[in-house]
Amino acid sequence: MLRMIPLTLGLLAAPVMAQTSPAPAPQPAPTPAVAPTPVSALPRVQITTTVGSFTVEVETAKAPVTAANFLRYVDQKKLDGITFYRTCKVADKFGFVQFGTNGDPKRTLPPIKHEPTTITGLKHLNGTLSTARLAPGSARGDFTISVGDQPSFDADATKPDDATKTNLGYAAFGRVVDGMDVVLKIFDAPIDPNATVRGSFKGEVPAAPVKVLSARRLPKV
């Protein structure tokens, strides 16, 4: 009777005399190639505050005027030491926070041309960075971060024109890409019901405004 020998990895045993050559050893399956994580070509800025840090990505391609204005404030370190001086909290996780030079003449750069969302294609979604303004063309160094989607801030060509050009909305130019939990800490901080900022925003002024320690561009990887 012929002697049987086992083959590896579950192959059926075969008579020794029937083998003309050794069975090839099973080869491991090839490791699938992993596509590299795409690196954004857009600049990113890390904003470090007294309650933590968050990172914003700046839409220099879609909103070149407004984005360049923000980056000038960053590069000239004019945001170091400013505060989040306004919290508009309409509901839980719905509203916005506002920070910037707050009219400080030593920090404030000249106003810029308004870039409505109908031109840039950007929307005021949760985490969107936008420029605060009065009349179009008056925006300088004050910025908002949306908490929750804010479609009412987008430009709307169907609305009737008026003296304040409210139909042009605000100029979105970036978004929070990391650290939105820090923005929510700022948003949820207690409000001083009697405080104002230069006579405005009563009921929207934080009791202990969060301070920006630094705002710096991050190196591209």
Kindly report the CATH number assigned to the domain that includes residue 187.
Answer: 2.40.100.10
| 4 domain residue, yes or no | no
Lowest-pLDDT range of 6-15, 31-40, 146-155, 183-192: 6-15
- Evaluate whether residue 208 is within a structural domain: yes
State how far the alpha carbon of 87 is from the alpha carbons of 62, 63, 184, 190, 202, in Å. 27, 25, 11, 9, 10
Nearest to 172 by CA among 219, 103, 126, 216: 126
Does the pLDDT at position 166 exceed 70?
yes
If you search the block for the tokens 């705002």, which residue do you land on? 215
In a domain, 6, yes or no: no
Contact indicator for 116, 168 with CB cutoff of 8 Å:
yes
- Give how many domains the chain has, as a whole number: 1
What value does the mean pLDDT take over residues 172-195?
98
Is 72 within a domain? Answer: yes
pLDDT, tens only, 16-45: 333 444 445 555 555 455 444 455 699 999
Which structural domain, as residue segments, surrounds residue 78?
Answer: 44-217
Between CA 67 and CA 52 the distance in angstroms is 23
